[in-house]
């Protein structure tokens, strides 16, 4: 009746095909871009003769002490050392996670000892210290150093 008489009918259904296409493109963009955004903080780690690989499971948090003395829990800034204890208690101790400490090699020893003391004062027993393997540093330096 409607098509044969030349009367136009309104389509009340939504065509979702363009919407699905746009969503798939956005999903692919986010899947590609997300790993690039979580690169971590720029820290020049000290070298050690033997360094283990950081575990990949999500049961750990990394505490970073940068060269300028700023503290970060994963990628989130910690304002003061007093705030650090509260964050450690809530995010590490109560959730029973492992804490890894990565400090720049130019950070004064006293600051690192103070941070470790505060970690122990909170009651965290699972603490790892991050370093680079000295074999990679010797190769990068052209083999210079003690043999």
pLDDT score recorded for residue 80: 84
pLDDT score recorded for residue 146: 31
Dump pLDDT digits (tens) for 120-135: 998 888 888 887 776 6
What average pLDDT does the segment 94-107 reach?
87
At residue 42 the predicted structure's pLDDT band, cuts being 50, 70 and 90, is low
pLDDT score recorded for residue 41: 61
Dump pLDDT digits (tens) for 15-38: 888 999 999 999 999 888 877 665
| CA–CA dist 112, 90 (Å, integer) | 21
Bigger pLDDT: 141 or 58?
58
| CA–CA dist 34, 23 (Å, integer) | 16
Bigger pLDDT: 53 or 69?
69
Please provide the CATH number assigned to the domain covering 47-138: 3.30.420.270
| CA–CA dist 25, 65 (Å, integer) | 38
| CA–CA dist 135, 47 (Å, integer) | 9
Q: Does position 39 have pLDDT exceeding 60, yes or no?
A: no
How is residue 26 written in tokens?
Answer: 């956005």
What average pLDDT does the segment 61-77 reach?
87
Q: Does the reported pTM lie above 0.85?
A: no
**First-last CA distance in the chain:** 95
Mean pLDDT of the chain: 77
């Amino acid at each position: 009746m409607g098509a044969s008489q030349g009367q136009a009918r309104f389509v009340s259904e939504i065509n979702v095909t363009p919407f699905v296409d746009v969503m798939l493109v956005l999903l692919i963009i986010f899947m590609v871009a997300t790993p690039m955004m979580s690169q971590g903080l720029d820290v020049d780690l000290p070298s050690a003769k033997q360094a283990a690989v950081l575990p990949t499971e999500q049961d750990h948090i990394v505490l970073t002490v940068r060269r300028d003395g700023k503290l970060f829990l994963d990628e989130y800034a910690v304002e003061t050392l007093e705030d650090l204890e509260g964050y450690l208690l809530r995010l590490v101790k109560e959730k029973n996670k492992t804490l890894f400490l990565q400090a720049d090699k130019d950070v004064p020893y006293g600051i690192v000892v103070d941070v470790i003391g505060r970690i122990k004062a909170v009651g965290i027993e699972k603490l790892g210290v991050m370093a680079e393997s000295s074999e990679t540093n010797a190769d990068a330096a052209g083999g210079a150093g003690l043999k």
